Amino acid sequence: AQSVTQPDIHITVSEGASLELRCNYSYGATPYLFWYVQSPGQGLQLLLKYFSGDTLVQGIKGFEAEFKRSQSSFNLRKPSVHWSDAAEYFCAVGARGATNKLIFGTGTLLAVQP
Amino acid sequence: GAVVSQHPSWVICKSGTSVKIECRSLDFQATTMFWYRQFPKQSLMLMATSNEGSKATYEQGVEKDKFLINHASLTLSTLTVTSAHPEDSSFYICSARPQEGQPQHFGDGTRLSIL
């Protein structure tokens, strides 16, 4: 069965520190991979996506993610966190094909300390 | 680009009433829209896939007579929660996809509170 695992429910980092949010997936083939961010009471904003090609993808707000097929992972990174990055982050897997339904991980809540 | 507008953002109503939520793609056409439900501190659960001009496809366990979906145009899908009860209180989020293989773009969600 298809699934997405975000092992870290809650992470706290200091402003200016580096960040890595983990995401592992289970899927029969190479899926589409996404990272979304959600601020409290709002919808989701797409940070970045992987469809094919270069396994290191750059996104908005200084985020990047690396697809590692051998580890079934798609971890999100940022070299220097800003206080405005505090939010909930969701990794998602999308099926290739007509439906493109997304399966979301349980999310990682990021807190940023001054 | 790729803006999705969801309305209303917050609604409170009495038990037994029906509530309609609109999802519009403002600057692109969306043959497919998706409706999700999110419980507090949890992830998004797909309720149904809405295809323009055809019946919606509901996920297992979602009552299609309870959650009516209409996708009458390439820019508008509606979700109607019929005879809403307190257990229907939740955060409902829609998304729209320009075409197959493109990312989904999300609305800002609707917080539904049934008294």
pLDDT digits (tens, 9 = 90+) for A31-51: 889 999 999 888 899 999 998
Rounded to the nearest 5°, which phi and psi values hold at B60? -60, 135
| Coil vs helix vs strand at A85 | helix
Mutate to test the interface with B, among A25, A48, A60, A104 (most CBs of B within 10 A): A104
Residue B101 has pLDDT above 90, yes or no: no
State the average pLDDT over residues B63-70: 94
Min CA distance, A2 vs chain B (Å)?
14
Report how far residue B98's alpha carbon sits from residue B25's, in angstroms, rounded to the nearest whole number: 9
**Residue A97, pLDDT score:** 67
Confidence of residue B7 (pLDDT cuts 50, 70, 90): very high
Cα-based distances in Å from A97 to A32, A100, B92: 10, 6, 25
DSSP line for B25-59: ESSS--SEEEEEEE-TTS-EEEEEEEETTS--EEP
- Assess contact for B51 and B99: CB atoms under 8 A: no
Residue B40 has pLDDT above 90, yes or no: no
How do residues A5-36 score in pLDDT, each as one tens digit? 999 999 999 999 999 999 999 987 778 899 99
How do residues A50-103 score in pLDDT, each as one tens digit? 988 899 999 999 999 999 999 999 999 999 999 999 999 999 998 776 566 888
Tell which residue, A42, A8, A4, has the closest CA to residue A26. A4
Amino acid identity of residue A84, one-letter, is S
Regarding beta strands A24-26 and A102-104, do their DSSP bridges make them parallel or antiparallel, or are they unpaired? unpaired
Q: What is the mean pLDDT of chain B?
A: 92
| Whole-number percent of chain B with pLDDT over 70 | 100
| Helix H or strand E encompassing B91 | strand B90-97
Tell which residue, B73, B76, B87, B85, has the closest CA to residue B35. B76
The reply to whether B111 touches chain A by the CB within 8 Å rule is yes
Give the closest of B42, B101, B107 to A100, CB-based: B101
**Residue B51, pLDDT score:** 86
Distance of CA A46 to the CA centre of its chain: 9
Min CA distance, A87 vs chain B (Å)?
12
Regarding beta strands B67-73 and A3-5, do their DSSP bridges make them parallel or antiparallel, or are they unpaired? unpaired
Confidence of residue B42 (pLDDT cuts 50, 70, 90): confident
State the average pLDDT over residues B49-64: 90
**Residue A98, pLDDT score:** 55
